[in-house]
Structure 1
Amino acid sequence: MKQTRNAVIVGAGPGGLAAALLLAKSGVKVTIVEKRGEVGGRTSTLEQDGFKFDIGPTFFLYPRVLKEIFASAGYDLDREVPMTRLDPQYRLVFGAGGELLATPNVERMEKAIANISPEDAARFHKFITHNRVKLDKFLPFLQAPFESWRDLMKPSMMKLLPLLAPWRSLDSDLQVHFKDERIRLGFSFQSKYLGMSPFRCPSLFSILSFLEYEHGVFHPTGGCGAVTRAMARIATELGVEILLDEPVDKVLIEKGKAVGVKTANRTLAADAVVVNADFAGAMRRMVPNQARNKWTDERLAKKRFSCSTFMMYLGIDGRYDDVSHHTIFLARDYKQNLKDIEEVHQLSDDPSFYVQNACVTDRSLAPDGQSTLYVLLPVTHEAGKVDWTKEAPRYRQLALKQMEKIGLHDVERRIRTEKILTPTGWADDFDLYKGATFSMAHSLDQMLHLRPHNRFEDVGKMYLVGGGTHPGSGLPVIFESARITSRLLLEDLKMEPHWTTNAGAGSVLSQDELVGAIS
């Protein structure tokens, strides 16, 4: 295909790679400029002493969006990246007592819920049906840009208000379905994918747990980093040039429009610039403050940002075959743990945590007879109240102690390789503003048209992709942002997209089912 226009993409994360596939397939000459030595950004692989760890995301959800992007480029995701659908999806351990082995099998899930709350088990099916409708109805809006309040006020959007109930928090919304607080936590901890508390997160995001049960939780062989490596390979086959170890110093702007980027080694001219990097960090580093009207440094400092994470990547002797692939421990006083993270900005003494024990599914991640443990503790972002040079050793010991609560004993003695990443590390190594691993919080005043726009409003011919723009964080949503952004860019270049978007979530409900589910 003759390429008459060119675009530079800053960052080889999942959003940038997805945009590269779509733009290259549509005839744009694409160059990706990546500051790190490998592709993937936070969705990349840490290799150390023969062990392999996902750096960031470990849950692969709703593969439909990426399947469509691969298909539009002429590739089959299932063939390019083999995946295992997990059953059970994960194990939930409640500090307040009880466990829940989450499974996509409805009958078994109802029995698992009944072990904790028989009354709530009977409501599981209605919860699934209700959220199937919610996703079906809202999906077209997740696939469209929101560039002003007028997009929000469209009649079709206003009709959704009773179903979306934006005036309710996620936990309040779940109280309609489940009475036991532990069960509600089991269907709302997913708000941590957005770096938010379920007591503040908008009710729309009940669709996150629904996606897990309806469409599955997957483990890509080799980890989620295998997905971005496959995307980079395909992009290269489509003619995309990927420059590694090439940090961008600044976006070149002339007469209010982006005309390229400058690195230490070269200047790259472009008809359009796509930024796939942490939004606040990238703006402060690459775009002069005076070139920004709405998103100045001063305004960014006043925005709410997500939590951060304390990470431990452990390569160990032997395996814990009786521990699930994914295990989430929810602290006894979950609300206080969240308050410590979001309001007080201090470290909890009894924190919630998550452990991925991936080698029970994928033994390619470790040498024979050994395995990997990925340990994540949600913590406050950088707010000037935690000195990680002092706290990291103490929190490491606390994390090892907490892990005993899910059956992981004697871990420290078995460690053969280890890496720790704190919020300071996220800020320094990945240029995340305040070390916030999920970018800006997804509160109602920072969503849709109130989030940085896919077609960036402060600089012409500049576009955003990734968790910092609409629709938000999480791999499926980031892939959707790539489609939105790519369509806008091509529209501005007066080019046609060479792909189609299949609207809807693949479910068909009768009118009676729709009315019943909404009511």
Structure 2
Amino acid sequence: MKKIAVVGAGPGGLAVAMLLAHKGYEVTVYEKQAYVGGRTSEIKLGDYKFDMGPTFLNMLYIAEEIFELTGRDIHDYVDLIDLNPMYQLIYHNKKINMTRDADEMIRQIDELFPGNKGSYERYMEQTQKKLEVLAPVLQAPMNKLTDLFNPKVMKAFKELEVGNSLVDTLSKFYNEEELQLAFTFQAKYLGMSPWESPGAFSILSYIEHAYGVYHIKGGINKLTEAMAKVVLESGGKILLNNGVKKLRTTGKKVTGLLLEDGQEIEADEVIINGDFAHAMTNLVEPGLLKKYTPEKLEKKQYSCSTFMLYLGVNKRFDLPHHTIWFAKDYRKNVEEITKTKLMSDDPSIYIQNAVVTDETVAPKGKSTLYILVPVPNNMSGIDWSEKAGPFRDMILNMVADKLGVKDMWEYIEEERMITPADWERDIHVYKGATFNLGHQLSQMLVFRPRNKFEELDHCWLVGGGTHPGSGLPIILESSRITANGILQQDKQTLLPVKPLPKVELYRKKQSQLKHQPAAIQTNV
């Protein structure tokens, strides 16, 4: 059996470990932290439980396929809850509940944005066709320039809408900017303004409206705990508190790992799941890289960062599971985050109130409030040691005002804050760019760091810093691409890729599921 060493127990590392361990490889995952999941892990504050990062799962069919490829059913491991409405969007003068109920979406659009009759139906119909063309590109390897000339990729070029921004594309369907923003705000998490993001990303909202948004009982962190369980069941190993200091190399060939405790590990193949730019600037000996030197990485374009508050409060709030408050001047807010790199005095705010769906995350009568504010990454030079306290107070004042709670501070029993500086220093996220490299066309497909890493031999990548990109389900897809690259190299049977599920059949299947999750004991 070939020895596979995986650096990092984030969702990408766990997924590729699942797949290769099931295929008979000797797989060991080395994790610096004392927990699995990376940014998809749990934060416990007293009796309150939070997700550190992602708070919902979309494109569920990809996670289902990853488990199926190991002979398992994801629904035996986690209890999935279909959120409908998916989230509430609040503007300065109106709010809209984004739902998979097409009739209800049409009713709300007609009431709130008259003059857009038929817009939602056209958006759903045309964007479904776009996704059908683009999906195979997100599932295919991009390891050499000639991969761009694959017939499936050539067919998809038109749908990339190179000349159109996301707002341009949405304006073909919706007249008012506020309504366009209801289907474009996800672009911010790709590191881009919707006024600059390629029109191809109109598929992001479509995927949610077509296939749903899901909560996992106990938090999305239960997914990575389940994945770790499958790794162990398949004969793999996960070694926590085992940070990697350097890649061991002979010339350009990676031969194993040097751990922080001095152990030298031999491996036939090394898979890096750590934050890409952080790994390249910390794990690779100086002088080995040409394309991704520290100086060149500094010039790449990166996503925004996030200012996080995790609050355990002695109160229940009349608040949906997911709420997004748009800044009054959203365009200015986005430009401050992505261009001028300034702290906004009118930020957009995302808040999760999971207890309305999941009683397990907080004691009876209490709540967990997860507050995320998109902010500039650390290219901004903002001194968070000085700015964090005042910014925290401003955000809490805004939240209290929006919730109509004057004495909110009296209800806070537990609190944790993560700033962009914390993301970089403690969680090893390059420049605090929470969503990794940006998704400009110059940093996508074959122009993104490749799954079969082009600079080093016997070195592979998974995660948001490689093809096909960031976002939890897309990271899982990167793991299947990388696993198949190793299997193909070793002349083994490849892992199959299912065609995109038919929407109505998929919805019907999900509605019939009876979730009976198995107890998870992750002994790693």
TM-score normalized with structure 1 length: 0.94
CA drift of 1:475 comes to 0.8
Q: Among 493, 496, 502, which residue is 2:498 paired with? A: 502
Structure 2 residue runs without a partner (length 5+): 506-524
* Distance in 2 (alpha carbons) for counterparts of 1:358 and 1:183: 26
SS in 2 for 1:459: coil
Residue 211 of structure 1 aligns with which residue?
A: 207
Q: How many Å separate the matches in 1 of 2:184 and 2:393? A: 28
% identical aligned pairs: 41
Change beyond 3 A, Cα 1:221–1:273: same
Q: Is 1:443 the equivalent of 2:440?
A: yes
Trace 1:334-483 onto structure 2 (pairs within 5 A): 334-404=330-400, 406-407=402-403, 409=405, 410-483=407-480
Q: 1:408 to 1:443 in 2, by over 3 A?
A: farther
AA of the residue aligned to 2:260: A
Q: What is the one-letter code of the residue matched to 1:414?
A: Y
> 2: distance between equivalents of 1:440 and 1:408?
38
One-letter identity of the residue aligned with 2:412 = I
- Structure 1's unaligned 5+ residue stretches are 510-519
- Cα contact 1:62–1:212 (8 A) shared by 2: yes
Structure 1 residue 508 displacement after superposition = 9.3
| 3-state DSSP of counterpart to 1:74 | coil
State how far apart, in whole Å, the 1-side matches of 2:164 and 2:307 are.
Answer: 30
SS at match of 2:319: coil
Note the C-alpha offset of 1:236: 0.6
CA RMSD of aligned residues (A): 1.5
Q: Does 1:329 align with 2:325?
A: yes
Q: Report whether the alignment pairs 1:264 with 2:253.
A: no
* Structure-2 residue corresponding to 1:81: 78
Aligned residue among 245, 248, 259 for 2:241:
245
Question: 8 Å contact 2:273–2:463 — kept in the other structure?
Answer: yes
Secondary structure at the counterpart of residue 368 of structure 2: strand
Q: Give the counterpart of 1:255 among 244, 251, 256.
A: 251
Which secondary structure does the structure 2 equivalent of 1:200 belong to? coil
1:33 aligns with 2:30: yes
Residues 97-128 of structure 1: CA deviation (Å, up to 9, x unaligned): 21111110000011111222122242101101
For residue 488 of structure 2, give the secondary structure of its aligned residue in structure 1.
Answer: helix
Letter paired with 1:49: G
**Number of residue-to-residue matches in the alignment:** 503
Cα distance in 1 for partners of 2:108, 2:186 equals: 19
Name the SS of the counterpart of 2:379 in structure 1. coil
Q: CA deviation at 1:192?
A: 2.6
In structure 2, what residue type is equivalent to 1:8?
A
Where do 1:30-429 residues align within 5 Å? 30-95=27-92, 97-265=93-261, 266-320=263-317, 322-404=318-400, 406-407=402-403, 409=405, 410-429=407-426
Residues 318 and 149 (structure 1 numbering): CA distance in 2 closer, same or farther, change over 3 Å? same
Does the residue aligned with 2:256 lie in a helix, a strand or coil? strand
Instruction: Find the counterpart in structure 2 of residue 493 from structure 1.
Output: 490
Instruction: Check whether the contact 1:329–1:406 (CA below 8 A) recurs between aligned residues.
Output: no
2: distance between equivalents of 1:67 and 1:384?
39
TM-score (ref. length: structure 2): 0.94
| 1:408/1:47 CA distance change after superposition, 3 Å | farther
- The question of whether the paired residues in 2 share the 8 Å contact of 1:195 and 1:437 is answered with no
Amino acid at match of 2:387: E
Q: For residues 393-452 of structure 1, what are the alpha-carbon distances to aligned partners after superposition, in whole Å with 9 as ceiling and x for unaligned?
A: 111111112214542524222100000000000001111111000111100111101100
Counterpart contact for 2:342–2:380, Cα < 8 Å: no
Give the aligned partner of residue 513 of structure 1. Answer: none
Which letter maps to 2:188? K
Q: In structure 2, what residue type is equivalent to 1:72? A: L
2:515 corresponds to which residue? none
Instruction: Note if contact 2:87-2:323 (Cα within 8 Å) is conserved in structure 1.
Output: yes
**Aligned letter for 2:222?**
A
Give the residue type in structure 2 aligned to 1:278. Answer: D
Distance 2:503 2:375 in 1: 37
Q: Deviations over 1:470-492 (max 9, x none)?
A: 00000110010000011111222
